[in-house]
Amino acid sequence: MPSPVPQFPQRDLFSSSTPQPTTLQIIRRVAQRESALEIGDEGETAQAPEAGENDVTSDAQANFKERTSALREQIQALSFASVDDLPRANGLLASVLLLKDEIERYHEPIKRPLKEAHAAACKAEHDDLDPVVALEKKLKQGIAALDLKLRQLEAEAARVRQQAAAEAGSAMQQQMIETARKSGASEEVLASLGAMEILVPVVETESFARPKGYSTRDQFEIEVTDILLVAKAVVAGSIQKEVLQANTKLLAAMAKASNGDLQIPGVRITKKVNVTGRRAK
């Protein structure tokens, strides 16, 4: 017969008459009032907790550790090799869930008001920051548009310089050909001069001035217009296969709907059992 699940003495850790566990007096005040943190004058310091409060905390946590250790020993003794272990494992799972629930309830009176205080602080921060962030966004969008215009002006100026250099080279070549013709050069020489590439240095000018304080970097937004064409490119080897990511959530839903009877090339389905337990009463 399977051995009985160990029973532990239960204590009423959550009654209103029992002091809430804490390590600092200021946290106790937060937990008892269940409201936002109240911060005193800058010169005020938190008082040390009373000895009895420390005793409550240490007793409760010692109880949790004792029960955890006992359950650990019981669970490690299970081999999970025989179905005869199933009732025993089920009973231990119920005890573990009960202990887990008690630990969470024990710490909740402190966690809840701190969470509320954190949420309130974040909301106050957002209330102050959101309009400033909106101004930052508007300015950055405007600067990006103006910087793009500067780039266009610089590109146009570079094109004009390139064109001017090309025209100067062509004019120099025509002048050389005309001079050679007047001097009685042969057609072969004239053809050679015509095929010669005359390079004229491009005159570099100063770029458009940008104010100091901001910098830019290019970002690229991607839109897939035809996933089948992308897949064909992957098959052809022209792009990496990593650009295609399988929708595992969709595949999992399809596998669940078919009870695992799903055949898709390149997809392996592994069935796992998810266990839900009930805590002991």
On the question of pLDDT at 229 being above 90, the answer is: yes
pLDDT digit string, tens, across residues 167-226: 888 888 888 888 888 888 888 888 887 888 877 787 776 667 788 888 888 888 999 999
What spatial distance separates the first Cα and last Cα of the chain, rounded to whole Å? 22
pLDDT-derived band at 238, boundaries 50, 70, 90: very high
pLDDT digit string, tens, across residues 122-156: 999 999 999 999 999 999 999 999 999 988 988 88
For the chain, the helix, strand and coil percentages under 3-state DSSP, each to the nearest 5 = 60, 0, 40
Q: How far apart are CA 96 and CA 78, in angstroms?
A: 15
Pull the structure tokens for residue 53.
């409060």
Task: Report pLDDT for 58.
Answer: 75
pLDDT digit string, tens, across residues 99-119: 999 999 998 888 888 889 999
Q: How far apart are CA 139 and CA 147, in angstroms?
A: 12
In the chain, the amino acid numbered 66 is E
Q: How far apart are CA 215 and CA 134, in angstroms?
A: 19
On the question of pLDDT at 253 being above 90, the answer is: yes
On the question of pLDDT at 51 being above 80, the answer is: no
Q: CA 10, 13, 19, 22 torsion: positive or negative?
A: positive
In the chain, the amino acid numbered 252 is A
Q: How far apart are CA 46 and CA 205, in angstroms?
A: 68
Task: Report pLDDT for 103.
Answer: 93
Helices 85-182 + 187-195 axis angle, to 10: 150
On the question of pLDDT at 84 being above 80, the answer is: yes
Please state which of the ranges 27-41, 70-84, 229-243 shows the lowest mean pLDDT. Answer: 27-41
Task: Report pLDDT for 200.
Answer: 77
Q: How many helices (H) and strands (E) does the chain have?
A: 6, 0
Q: How far apart are CA 222 and CA 243, in angstroms?
A: 12
Task: Report pLDDT for 173.
Answer: 83
Q: Are 48 and 25 in contact (CB under 8 A)?
A: yes
Q: Are 56 and 31 in contact (CB under 8 A)?
A: no
Residue entry with tokens 């389905």: 269
Instruction: Name the pTM for this structure.
Output: 0.53
pLDDT-derived band at 22, boundaries 50, 70, 90: very low
% of residues, the chain, pLDDT over 90: 35
In the chain, the amino acid numbered 159 is R
